Chain A
Amino acid sequence: MACDRKGHGMSNTPIDRIAAGTPQGVAKRVRGLSDRAIAWIFIAPTIFLLLAVNIFPLIWTIRLSFTNFRVNRPNRDVEWVGLRNYERILNDSDIWSTMQATAHFLFWTIAIQVLIGFTIAYLINKKFRGNDLWTTIIVFPMMLSPAVVGNFWTFLYQPQIGLFNYVVAFFTGADPASFSMIGDVHLAPWAIVIADTWMWTPFVMLICLAGLRSIPDSIYEAAECDRASKWRQFWTITIPMVLPFLMLAVLFRGIENFKMFDLVVQLTGGGPGNTTTLTSIDLKREAFEKWRTGYSSAYAVVLFVTVFGLASIYVKALNKVKER
């Protein structure tokens, strides 16, 4: 042991002990870089990169949001327009219809995914033989590139030749050429919900499964001794114990689907009309097709505030549930 070798026992920390008994050169090396210095050397590059690529652009966005700047007209004088961009956004009926499309998408994807995800997790937790293998297979879609997968879903949704239409027709007896999931105003919002559900239900399922597995058997055994029915056990033990996990899954899906871009833009491109124009798609059009840079910056800021606001309210609720 080092302490015995050095024969000093006076100081308190291991480093001091070594330093006190070691030759000058070694001591200098030990102390050469203090923990404090190392901490900063280790953290600084990360913080710097995040400031440069995230915070700096964010501040720039906020600044641009008060101007009428347009990227495609760099020579025009940039005017300071104050809060006008924000006023226009809050009064723009198109943006409200976009928000409605987003709300529809958010509500239904989360509701369906929670329902199916929890059910599948509950069934997997029955520990039938080979459940690990099937879990891994179920998880595949969520790891794949949404843009590439979304593009291929347009093929599955083709009238007549598409696999999706064929399967639906097979079970309902309808003509597979009679409906177009991505061409019909009423069906398109559901087309994106279905594709997103296919892709992300495994995510909710995995988190629920972790929740179910975290419940100790002893609680059920105790309930069994008290002659509580299975139904009662489910509602008074299983659901409350899984709830924090479920809420975490909803938080993640909520934030992700609020930002949703790749899958939907490839599937429907926001159409037909504006029926599937989610906020990110609308923002992309304003910023990179209409080049209204100032206006779209303000739009981006409004979205940030919405996400952060909703997320922090939600996290507070989540913590309350956890504390119970």
Chain B
Amino acid sequence: MSFSVTEPSSRTKWFAGTLVILYAIITIMPLLWIVATGFKSPSDAIAYPPKVVFEPTMEGYVNLFTERTRATPEMLEEAGPPETWYDEIVREKGMVISGESRYGQRFLNSVIIGFGSTALCMLLGTAAAYAFSRFRVPLKDDLLFFILSTRMMPPIAVSIPIFLMFRQIGLNDTHLGMILLYTAVNLSLSVWLLKGFIDEIPVEYEEAALIDGYTRMQAFTKVVLPQAATGIASTAIFCLIFAWNEYAFAVLLTSGTAQTAPPFIPTIIGVGGKDWPAVAAGATIFLVPVMVFTILLRKHLLRGITFGAVRK
């Protein structure tokens, strides 16, 4: 029977769809604006009324990755014709490229710290989650709550002693320090999420493996881990996104060698006013990978953001 009392009428669907799409467009607008601004010239970026149609240029991206100095016409003459397309863009403005900007380095720091902490967090988190899921651990509920509660602390509040502690043992502004810190912050998420995923794997599989002569370790690595692969992958992406986006610890504990992109991007300034296309270009490169990950994660999104409290 095609008719059902709970199935919305086609008019209701049409109405609901229109409103949701309208909301989605409002939501996506600022993001599209970031991407578009990255391809605008500085004067187009601050034009009034805001320009929707414009001539795209790579100037923002070139400015993002380079340091430039103003050059006299004679100097430009002497330097000869521009060798590359980005040279050309800079020359048109009467400037020459004097070096590489720090953005590349900051982005690389984000990659190193993000992936480093995610790997460590998954190693520790999977083991702990397995133990909590399968063994009788004294004070299990208290330990699990303790792990979760570490997430409730405002980062600024713990940052004072962490700052002092890191300075004492030389971890301030180092990759290792940030990796350890982000691992600790993400452990609550990874243990809770992974415990949920492992709980869903029937114990019978391991028992069968144990009967077949596997040791506990082998049962864990050869039976449980492959079964939990999807869960581990989505948990890892959540940890990666958190470390990638984190700002408070990064701005307080790093300034140079280990500074990640989020505290750096807002500090990008141009000559005579903020260089919005360069900022937008930096933001675009930084945000787009997360959007791709969001699409990959969409099935486990809800679980991730609620620490496994809501499972679909």
Q: A and B bound? A: yes
B79 at the interface (CB under 8 A from A): no
A156 touches B33 (CB 8 A): yes
Residue A316, interface by CB 8 Å: no
> How long is the Cα–Cα vector from A18 to B14 in the complex, in angstroms?
63
For B216, give the chain A residue with the smallest CB separation.
A38
- Majority SS at the chain B contact face: helix
- Contact flags A26-69 to B (C-beta < 8 A → 1, else 0): 10011011011011111101110110111111101100100000
Asked if B154 contacts A163 (CB within 8 A), the reply is no
CA–CA, A148 and B306, complex, Å: 23
Q: Which of A82-90, A103-111, A213-221 contacts B (4 or more CB under 8 A)?
A: A213-221
Confirm or deny: A186 has a beta carbon within 8 angstroms of a beta carbon on chain B.
Answer: no
Once the chains are docked, how many angstroms separate the CA of A3 from the CA of B8?
A: 56
Q: Beyond A43-B128, A54-B153, is A137–B184 a contact (Cβ under 8 Å)?
A: no
> Which are the 4 A-B pairs with shortest beta-carbon distances?
A300-B157, A128-B17, A53-B184, A57-B161
A142 to B28, CA, bound (A): 12
Are A39's CB and B184's CB within 8 A? Answer: no
How many Å lie between the Cα of A90 and that of B302 in the bound state?
39
Within 8 A of A (CB), among B178-224: 180-181, 183-185, 187, 191, 207, 210-213, 215-217, 220
Contacts of A252 in B (CB 8 A): 305-306
Which residues, 258 to 312 on B, are CB-close (under 8 Å) to A?
Answer: 261-263, 265-266, 276, 279-280, 283, 286-287, 290-291, 293-295, 298, 301-302, 305-306, 309-310, 312
Among A39, A49, A202, A259, contact of B154 (Cβ-Cβ < 8 Å)? A259
In this assembly, does A126 line the interface, its C-beta being within 8 Å of a C-beta of chain B? yes
* A43 with B137: CB separation less than 8 A: yes
Task: Mark interface residues in B44-57 (1 if CB within 8 Å of A CB, else 0).
Answer: 00111110000000
* In the complex, A153 has a CB within 8 A of chain B: yes
Interface stretch of the complex, out of B59-67, B80-88, B242-250 = B242-250
Hey, which bits of chain A sit against chain B, CB under 8 A? 1-3, 14-15, 17-18, 22, 26, 29-30, 32-33, 35-36, 38-43, 45-47, 49-50, 52-58, 60-61, 64, 71, 116, 120, 123-124, 126-132, 134-149, 151-153, 155-156, 158, 160-163, 166, 176, 198, 202-203, 206-207, 209-210, 213, 217, 220-221, 224, 245, 248, 252, 255, 258-259, 261-262, 266, 279-280, 283-284, 287-288, 293, 296-297, 300-301, 303-304, 307-308, 311
Asked whether, in the complex, the Cβ of B165 is within 8 Å of the Cβ of A134, the reply is no
B46: shortest Cβ distance to chain A, in Å?
Answer: 5
* B21 contacts across to A, CB distance below 8 A: 134
Question: Which residues of A are found within 8 Å of B262, using beta-carbon distances?
Answer: 145, 147-148, 262
Q: How far is the CA of A259 from the CA of B298 in the complex (A)?
A: 26
Residues of B close to A142: CB separation below 8 A = 305
Knowing A46-B127, A53-B181, A137-B27 are in contact, say whether A38-B312 is a contact too (CB < 8 A).
no
Question: Does A128 lie within 8 Å of B16, measured CB to CB?
Answer: yes
The reply to whether B213 and A30 form a contact with Cβ atoms under 8 Å apart is: yes
Query: Cβ of A161 and Cβ of B6 under 8 Å apart?
Result: no
A36: chain B residues at CB < 8 Å are 135
Query: Known: A139-B298, A148-B266. Is A39-B137 also a contact (CB below 8 A)?
Result: yes
B115 interface hit (Cβ, 8 Å): no
Report chain B residues within 8 Å CB of A116: 23
Q: Is there contact, CB below 8 Å, between A147 and B211? A: no
* 15 pairs, A vs B, C-beta closer than 8 Å: A30-B213, A116-B23, A128-B14, A128-B17, A138-B20, A143-B241, A166-B48, A220-B6, A224-B5, A248-B309, A255-B152, A261-B248, A283-B157, A287-B159, A300-B154
Residues on A with C-beta less than 8 A from B217 are: 33, 38
B124 proximal to A (CB < 8 A): yes
Report chain B residues within 8 Å CB of A18: 210-211, 213
In the complex the two chains form, is B27's CB within 8 Å of A198's CB? yes
Q: Is the CB of A43 within 8 A of B20?
A: no
Chain B residues near A152 (CB, 8 Å)? 30, 34, 279-280, 283
Q: How far is the CA of A25 from the CA of B54 in the complex (A)?
A: 76
B98 — which chain A residues lie within 8 A by C-beta? none
Interface residue B2 (Cβ < 8 Å from any Cβ of A):
no
Q: From residue A77, how far is it (CB to closest CB) to chain B in Å?
A: 17
Q: Is B283 touching A148 in the complex (CB atoms < 8 A)?
A: yes
Complex formed: what's the CA distance from A18 to B207 in Å?
A: 12
A207 interface neighbour in B23, B266, B290, B306, Cβ under 8 Å: B306
Contact status A151-B153, CB under 8 Å: no
Stretch at the interface among B69-77, B89-97, B143-151, B227-235: B143-151
Contact of A262 among B12, B33, B247, B283 (CB under 8 A): B247
- Indicate if B125 sits at the interface (CB-CB under 8 A): yes
Q: A46-B187, A148-B265 are in contact. Are A137 and B215 (CB under 8 A)?
A: no
Given contacts A156-B30, A255-B152, contact A304 B157 (CB under 8 A): yes
* Residue ID in chain A nearest B33 by CB atoms: A163
Candidate in A60, A139, A213 with the most chain B CB atoms within 10 angstroms = A139
Inter-chain CA distance A15–B209, complex, in Å, is 10
Q: Residue on A with the closest CB to B312?
A: A210
* Chain B residue, CB-CB nearest to A219: B6
Q: Which residues of B contact A17 (CB under 8 A)?
A: 211
- Tell me which of A123, A140, A152, A283 has the highest count of chain B C-beta atoms within 10 A of its own C-beta: A152
Chain A residue nearest to B245 (CB atoms) is A145
